[in-house]
Amino acid sequence: MRNAILGLIGLVMIGGSATAQTPDNFVIDTAGELAVLCSVSTDSPVYTAAIHFCHGYGHGAFQYYKAQSFAKGGSKFVCVPNPAPTRVEAWSGFIAWLKNNPKYNDGVAIDVLFRYLGETYPCKN
């Protein structure tokens, strides 16, 4: 499935611009790679694809977290305030946090993302 999605992104990018980035830019393993993709410039030929990938990644990860944390026996460590931050605010916060914590750049993207969320939006027990 992942390869099919990457292939589709690659086809869109190849057809869109001769100077477009390659599909390899959309392979996210580390937090640093995630931050680079999520902070792509609005004038980049892949901005739309990158920002949608970024928002989808975060939304999917958080939906999975909610399903697990609200399940019987699940535990919560991220509690989003009300009103919740927008996706743009959340990603901007993550990128700024990672710049202040560069030791996590090479960490597994999803782990570091939830480290940020847990530190930024901790549950009050």
pLDDT tens for residues 30-65?
999 999 999 999 998 889 989 999 999 999 999 999
Number of Cα atoms under 13 Å in the Cβ half of residue 93: 17
Q: Does residue 76 belong to any structural domain of this protein?
A: yes
CA dist., res. 123 & res. 69, Å (int): 12
Q: Write down the residue that tokens 């100077």 correspond to.
A: 19
Q: Does residue 125 belong to any structural domain of this protein?
A: no
User: What total number of domains does the chain contain?
Assistant: 1
Residue 24's pLDDT band (boundaries 50, 70, 90)?
low
pTM: 0.76
User: Would the pLDDT of 73 be above 70?
Assistant: yes
Q: Does residue 99 belong to any structural domain of this protein?
A: yes
CA dist., res. 118 & res. 125, Å (int): 13
The size of the chain, in residues, is 125
What confidence score (pLDDT) does residue 70 get? Answer: 82
Cis-peptide into 85, omega within 30 deg: no
